[in-house]
Amino acid sequence: MERYEEILQLLSSIVPLLWLCYALIFRVTKPHIACIISLLITIFGSIYVWRTPGSTVVWSIIDGVISSLYPIIWTIFSALFTYRLICEINAIEGIKRSLSVISDNRLTQALIVAFCFGSLLEGIAGFGTSVIIPSAILLSLGFPPYQSAMISLISNTVPVVYAAVGVPVMALARVTGMSLKALSGIIGLQLFPVTLIVPFFIKEILKIPADIILISGTGLVFALTQSLTGWYIGPELPAILAPFVTISFLIVYTRIKEEGQGIKDISREDLKSWLPYGLIVILILLTRLNGNISSLLSSHPFSFSFVIGPLNKTVKIDYIYTPGTLIMISAVTGGLILKARLSDYKRALLGTFLQILPTLSIITSMIIMANLMSYAGMTKLLAIKLVRVFGIFYPFISPLVGAIGTFLGGSDTTSNILFGVLQTEAGKNIGVSPLWLAGANASGATGGKLISLQNLTLAVSGINKKGEEGRLMRLIFPYFLLYLGVMGLIIYTGSRFIH
């Protein structure tokens, strides 16, 4: 009887994930519908197989709704609104022009447009903008279509974990209960080596002679800025500051090497187009680095907390200090300075609201599902089974688990919600730091963006090759294997020393 019950429990833990795999890979239904069905399967299993009390199920749902709306959805909404607003007032064209005049060198253009500007789009907006826009810009600069798409996909890896002002790390902290800043720092450390090699991947795709100083310098500047920002400030700014600093390095290096040839001056109007993003950086830096401001905005009357029912979980709402509010303030203020009209704000708001509805249902469903799997014991059971199969070598495959989550859900955020707790449970079972393996999930999830169906579709759309996702997948897959192999070695080696 016990054996029969254990099999039932294992099946009830796996079936929601298997359904997601099937529904998303074969496109049986829309992603948000697939996630809702997966949640319903989880609720059924937790009640009838795991005998989770009804009150726990109800409060898990309430907790999931609150956790998704604040700070995750609010941050995503503000980030997408900012991007839509600069598109409405045509400031995005000024940003594109300011990037395209820096150099005529193909490698420099690819690094600036895809690696830096793509990372900046990921850090501020995320959700596809960082693939489709750089692909289209590179194509317009004369890059071959598939080169443009591959370069954009490769570039859309390391910054993904800090997308939309740190949403994936916020989600991971929410589901695991770990320190946001500790997770941000450990992830930056894990991603440092792979960040160094991404520019070499771009050079390999272009098949042009290497400028070692340019390639290694770009990787080192980006890696140092992203890692140090993640370690000392938090997850909000790494994917924003790193591109800014790296673009500055590329401009200086290009001016020295090319002695100003082929470089045009950037107009004042084009520079002004960056204003909303500049304000975001300033506000987040002010509130994170100034202890007095930070303490003021994260305490009463700018903050309140409450306990969620029998879960005994305290939720704290910082309605000014949260990145979403700071981004919204920056967007509205920047828009006013750039002479945005009321109609521009209205169109940006409506477009953002319609765009975010599927994301809202996906993230809310996944958080509730992760909560229920954790409270019922499903996540712990899956972790035990995985550890039993891979033993002490589990850390090597832990990034692959994160990548699978991204492949299924299309984002680092979804992967962290799905598998973050599983990774920490696995760490406890084999005596490896749960913080290290939670970070491994987020770091590995960045590699999953290379083969994510959502990303592939966006990339082929950007180069006007709709329906060619399969061909692009075949071209990019070797880089995915190499990326995950390096990531696995980093996590396994680190697991031997970090406890």
46: tokens are: 């937790």
Q: What does the alpha-carbon distance between residue 496 and residue 499 come to, in Å, rounded to a whole number? A: 8
pLDDT at 180: 94
Amino acid at 284: I
How far from 107 is each of 133, 205, 246, CA to CA, in Å? 18, 10, 14
Q: Is the pLDDT of residue 242 over 90?
A: yes
Fill in the DSSP letter of residue 309. Answer: G
The total of other beta-carbon atoms located within 10 Å of residue 332's CB is: 17
Q: What b/e string do you get for 261-286 counting C-beta neighbours within 10 Å, with b at 16 or more?
A: eeeeebeeebeebbbbbebbbebbbe
Q: What is the pLDDT of residue 366?
A: 84
Mean pLDDT of 132-153: 87
The span from the CA of 183 to the CA of 172, in Å, is 8
Long-range contacts of the stretch 89-94 (C-beta < 8 A, 24+): 89/335, 89/338, 89/339, 89/340, 89/344, 91/272, 91/273, 91/275, 91/276, 91/338, 92/273, 93/273, 94/267, 94/269, 94/270, 94/271, 94/272, 94/273, 94/274
pLDDT band at residue 1, thresholds of 50, 70 and 90?
A: low
Going by the DSSP 8-state scheme, the letter that residue 301 receives in this structure is T
403 CB contacts (<8 Å, ≥6 apart)?
A: 415, 444, 445, 447, 448, 451, 480, 484
Residue-level pLDDT at 138: 86
Q: Is the pLDDT of residue 261 over 70?
A: no
**316: β partners:** 305
Torsion of Cα atoms, 41 then 44 then 46 then 47, to 10°:
170
Under a CB-based contact definition with an 8 Å cutoff, are residues 37 and 23 in contact? yes
- 303 pLDDT band, cuts 50/70/90, is confident
Report helix, strand or coil for 303: strand
SS3 326: helix
Mark out the alpha helices in 314-449 (DSSP H runs): 323-337, 342-376, 378-390, 394-409, 412-430, 434-448
pLDDT (0 to 100) of residue 331: 94
pLDDT at 499: 67
Distances (CA, A) of 247 to 78, 206, 272: 25, 20, 17
* Predicted pLDDT at 464: 76
Cα–Cα distance, 177 to 194 (Å, whole number): 27
Give the whole-angstrom CA distance, residue 11 versus residue 108.
51
**CA 471 → CA 48, 207, 455, 456, distances in Å?**
44, 19, 14, 10
User: In whole angstroms, what is the distance from residue 422 CA to residue 430 CA?
Assistant: 13
Cα dist from 283 to 95, 114, 335, 481, whole Å: 21, 26, 16, 39
C-alpha–C-alpha distance, residues 102 and 254, integer Å: 8
Percent over 90 (pLDDT), the chain:
46
CA atoms of 220 and 483, how far apart (whole Å): 17
> What pLDDT digit, counting tens, does each position of 444-491 carry?
999 999 988 778 877 887 787 877 877 888 899 999 999 999 999 999
Per-residue confidence (pLDDT) for residue 67, from 0 to 100: 82
Beta bridge partners of 24: none
Largest CA distance in the chain: 79
Query: Is the per-residue pLDDT at 101 higher than 80?
Result: no
Condensed to tens digits (0 to 9), the pLDDT of residues 45-95 reads: 999 999 999 888 998 898 889 888 888 788 888 888 988 898 899 998 888
The chain-wide mean pLDDT, for the chain, equals 88
**Tokens representing 243?**
């591109």
d(CA 218, CA 102): 15
pLDDT in tens, 17-35: 889 878 877 778 888 898 8
Whole-angstrom distance, CA of residue 475 vs CA of residue 469: 10
Tokens of 25: 């890979």
Across the range 246-267, mean pLDDT stands at 78
Separation CA 464–CA 75 (nearest Å): 31
Q: How confident is the model at residue 263, as a pLDDT? A: 54
Q: Rounded CA gap, 247 and 102, in Å? A: 9
* pLDDT score, position 128: 64
> What was the pLDDT predicted at 355?
83
How many angstroms separate the CA atoms of 246 and 18, rounded? 41
Report the pLDDT value the prediction gives residue 95, as an integer from 0 to 100: 81
Q: What is the dihedral of CA 57, 60, 65, 67, to 10 degrees?
A: -170
* DSSP-assigned states of every residue in 464-479: T-TT-HHHHHHHHHHH
What digits encode the pLDDT tens for the residues 180-216?
A: 999 999 999 999 999 999 999 999 999 888 789 999 9
Q: Which domain holds residue 75?
A: 2-497
Contact status, residue 362 vs residue 31, Cβ threshold 8 Å: yes
Q: Of the ranges 309-313, 338-342, 373-377, which one carries the lowest mean pLDDT score?
A: 309-313
Note whether 362 and 34 are within 8 A (CB).
no
DSSP state of 315: E
Query: How far is Cα 375 from Cα 41, in angstroms, rounded to an integer?
Result: 15
Residue 333 has pLDDT above 60, yes or no: yes
For residue 162, what is the DSSP state? G
Residue 354, C-beta contacts closer than 8 angstroms, at least 6 positions apart:
none
**Number of domains making up the chain:** 1
Beta bridge partners of 313: 308
